[in-house]
Structure 1
Amino acid sequence: METNHNNDPGASHVPEQQNGTEMNAVEKVELASVAEAVDFFKIVKERLLDINQWAKIAGTEMSNFYLTDSSGHQVSRFAIDGDHIKIDIPGPGTVAGKGYDWVRIEQIITEELDGAEVLSITVRPSANPLNDKEDTAHFLTDEATSTFQVKRMGNTVSAEEHGRNEMPNTGTDNTLDNIRNVFVGWGAKIGLSYPQWKALVKGLLSIRA
Structure 2
Amino acid sequence: MKTNDLMGNTGAEHVPSQHLGSEMNAVEQITLASEAQAVHFFQTVKERLLDVNRWKQIAGGTMSDFFLTDETGNLVQRKATGGDHIRIDIPGPGSQTGGGYDWVTIEEIKLEVLDNAEVLSMTARPSVNPLTDSEDTAHFLTDDASSTFQVKRVGSVISAEEHGRNEVPNTETENTLDNIRNTFVGWGAKAGFSYPQWKALVKGLLNTADIYGDSR
1:118-172 CA-to-partner distances (Å, cap 9, x unmatched) read 0000000000000111100000000000000000000000000000000000010
Give the whole-Å Cα distance in 2 for the aligned partners of 1:167 and 1:78.
29
Judge conservation of contact 1:10–1:118 (CA < 8 Å) in 2: yes
Q: Are residues 1:112 and 2:129 paired?
A: no
Judge conservation of contact 1:139–1:181 (CA < 8 Å) in 2: yes
**C-alpha RMSD of matched pairs (Å):** 1.1
Give the whole-Å Cα distance in 2 for the aligned partners of 1:122 and 1:135.
20
- Structure 2 partner of 1:148: 149
1:79 is displaced (CA, Å) by 0.3
- Structure 1 partner of 2:67: 66
Give the whole-Å Cα distance in 1 for the aligned partners of 2:7 and 2:195.
27
Regions of 4+ moved over 4 Å = 4-7
Judge conservation of contact 1:60–1:196 (CA < 8 Å) in 2: no
Judge conservation of contact 2:171–2:180 (CA < 8 Å) in 1: yes
Equivalenced residues, count:
206
- Structure 2 partner of 1:174: 175
Length-normalised TM-score, structure 2: 0.93
- Structure 2 partner of 1:21: 22
Judge conservation of contact 1:55–1:64 (CA < 8 Å) in 2: yes
1:114 is displaced (CA, Å) by 2.0
Structure 1: which 5+ residue stretches go unaligned?
Answer: none
1:7 is displaced (CA, Å) by 5.2
- Structure 2 partner of 1:50: 51
Structure 2: which 5+ residue stretches go unaligned?
Answer: 211-216
Judge conservation of contact 1:5–1:11 (CA < 8 Å) in 2: no
Residue type at the aligned position of 2:50: L
Give the whole-Å Cα distance in 2 for the aligned partners of 1:15 and 1:34.
30
Length-normalised TM-score, structure 1: 0.97
Give the whole-Å Cα distance in 2 for the aligned partners of 1:5 and 1:115.
10
Report % sequence identity. 67
- TM-aligned CA distance change 1:63 to 1:6, over 3 Å: closer
1:62 is displaced (CA, Å) by 2.9
- TM-aligned CA distance change 1:36 to 1:202, over 3 Å: same
Q: Are residues 1:35 and 2:36 paired?
A: yes
